[in-house]
Amino acid sequence: MRRLLIGASALAFAGAAAAQDARAITVEAVDGRRVSLHGADVEVREDGATDVHGWARRARAQAGVINAHLHAEAFNAGGRSLGVVDGGWNGALSSRDRSAEPFHIRLPPDMANAAVRVRVTVEPGQRHD
């Protein structure tokens, strides 16, 4: 319990600076044919790590196993690509109720520091990270 309280106060303390950093990075989420993305955002965590997070949901009228994953590609102010990070959503995407599953993709510090824009896309096949 004590550890939890310490974590919460550290988070509140870092909140102002983190919010400013996160606002500097815009996020574009591009739906795939079989998977749609929702609520994508960038979060600078209390330990300084930068996560792209959001929700993935099975696209309407798509049945069967979905073999796909996510790419987060970061761009600098000049529009140059800083690289791609592989990621995925948690669990299977339900075909019964099309419930959304969360995703978190951590950007390496050198990428996060230079990035002004991140584009999240749905890619076919298995993750290759």
**Residue nearer to Zn ion on the CB measure, 72 or 112:** 72
Spell out where 1-129 has E strands: 26-30, 35-44, 50-58, 68-75, 81-87, 101-107, 117-124
Provide the 3-class DSSP secondary structure of residue 98. coil
Of 97, 96, 89, 116, the C-alpha closest to 32 is: 89
Nearest approach, Cβ of residue 127 and Zn ion (Å): 6
Q: What x-and-dash track marks residues 66-105 binding Zn ion by CB under 5 A?
A: --------------------x-------------------
The values of phi and psi at residue 10, to 5°, are -65, -40
**Residue nearer to Zn ion on the CB measure, 31 or 86:** 86
Tokens representing residue 37 in the block? 């993305």
Nearest approach, Cβ of residue 128 and Zn ion (Å): 5
**Residue nearer to Zn ion on the CB measure, 2 or 128:** 128
Residues near Zn ion (CB under 5 A): 86, 128
